[in-house]
Amino acid sequence: KRPVGAPDRKLARPVSKVGVIGAGLMASQFALLFLRRLQVPVVLTDVDQARVDKGLAYIRDEIAALEQKARIDADEANRLRALVRGTVDKTEFADCDFVIEAVFEETAVKQQVFAEIEGIVSPEAILATNTSSLSVEEIGSVLAHPERLVGFHFFNPVAVMPLVEIVRTPQASEEAVATAYVVAKNLRKNAIGSADAPGFIVNRLLAKVMGEAARALDAGTPLATVERAFGPLGLPMTPFQLIDLVGWKVAAHVQDTMVSHFPERFHASANLHALADVPQAVEKDKGGRVTGWTKEAQR
Ligand code: CAA
């Protein structure tokens, strides 16, 4: 029995080159996953060469770590290194069949990225957004062919979290959705279909956990106490570790989206925004962040 919303996989288009727009921590993580699991050329881009180089450095370090842990042999490590390219020149995306973005969580920014990329790729190329809560339909409204766009939402840490949410807009073609399901399967992820609703499925829950933890700070409870209160629940991470993992800015954006769509159910937290705006170095010195894992992800 096919999962709800999953189309006929025979309609999937072949993917022989992947384009990744954005070279931050999330994008670099899934660029590596595409390399490893699809073994096809992956081209990565960002707004400047420094960001591209940082993404490439992350990927090379992770390939070295996989080799060191004997998860891949030297031949495969070399093959993966040779398959990845980073560039600020988006014309190198011309022959990509599947292009996925993880740029700043703002609809206008994502629209601009896709409008530009649609002018470069072939008419058959499938486009995907890793947005965590924005409307995929609205992002795609600037496209000449919005039917080629799907939501393809990974979770942090990408290498270990087994889930991908595939978001189908009302316009999405069966080919685009089928391709997304087959790509997810080849990445060895469990795909679940989601309607194009705010927060999709997972972030409806996570935004509650992260938001209410932050609102406990608003109420005057010290951060360490909130952490201790959650410890005995046996979750893999406490709420602030989770916020650290996804990035405070991302958590604040998700919260904003949910509050704007469901003001009766989601509520803003002054602390979530205040902490998201604190420069990392200062914040780390103050010991405000819980783990500091995702300092690099704050952009
Ligand atoms: N980046 C990459 N890999 C990581 C990692 C990270 N930040 N953290 C852990 N790992 C890897 C480790 O390297 C290890 O891999 P190997 O087996 O290859 O060595 C593996 O994960 C397990 O690590 P640990 O042994 O340290 O395991 P753990 O038991 O402490 O589990 C965890 C770590 C899997 C991250 C666990 O704490 C967990 O499941 N946390 C919850 C994560 C979660 O809920 N993510 C969703 C966030 S929401 C989101 O991303 C999207 C959004 O839209 C907001």
Q: Identify the pLDDT of residue 233.
A: 86
Active site residues per annotation: 153
Does residue 164 fall inside a structural domain?
A: yes
Give me the domain span that covers residue 216: 204-287
Q: 158 CB under 6 A from ligand 1?
A: no
With a 6 Å cutoff on the Cβ, whether 104 touches ligand 1 is: no
- Which pLDDT value is given to residue 3? 52
Structure tokens at 271: 């602390």
> Burial of 266 by CB count in 10 Å (0-12 exposed, 13-18 middle, 19+ buried)?
buried
Task: Look up the pTM and report it.
Answer: 0.91
Domain end among 195, 217, 238: 195
Domain end among 170, 195, 220: 195
Q: Which ipTM did the prediction report?
A: 0.94
Residue 14 DSSP one-character state: P
Strand order in the sheet with 190-195: 84-86, 42-45, 18-21, 98-101, 126-129, 149-153, 163-168, 190-195
pLDDT at residue 5, as a whole number:
65
Strand locations in 53-93, DSSP E? Answer: 84-86
The CB of 163 under 6 Å from ligand 1? The reply is: no
Q: What is the pLDDT of residues 201-257, one digit of tens each?
A: 999 999 999 999 999 989 999 888 888 888 888 888 888 888 888 888 889 999 999
Asked if 187 and 99 sit in the same domain, the reply is yes
> Do 187 and 272 lie in a common domain?
no
- Measure the CA–CA gap between 106 and 100, rounded to whole angstroms: 15
Task: Please list the residues that pair with 236 across neighbouring strands.
Answer: none
125 in Cβ contact with 99 (< 8 Å) = yes
Instruction: Quote the pLDDT of residue 30.
Output: 96
Residue 251 CA: which ligand 1 atom is closest? 54
How many domains does the structure of the chain reveal? 2
Residue 97: CA count within 13 A, CB half-sphere:
15
Nearest CA to ligand 1 atom 33: 236
150 class by beta-carbon count within 10 Å (0-12 exposed, 13-18 middle, 19+ buried): buried
Residue closest via CA to ligand 1's atom 20 equals 160
Give me the residues paired with residue 20 across strands: 44, 100
170 in the same domain as 276 = no
Give the list of residues 6+ apart from residue 215 with CB closer than 8 angstroms, or none. Answer: 267, 269, 271
Ligand 1 centroid from CA 297, angstroms: 15
Q: What value does the CA radius of gyration of the chain take, rounded to a whole number of Å? A: 19
Q: Whose CA is nearest to atom 32 of ligand 1?
A: 236
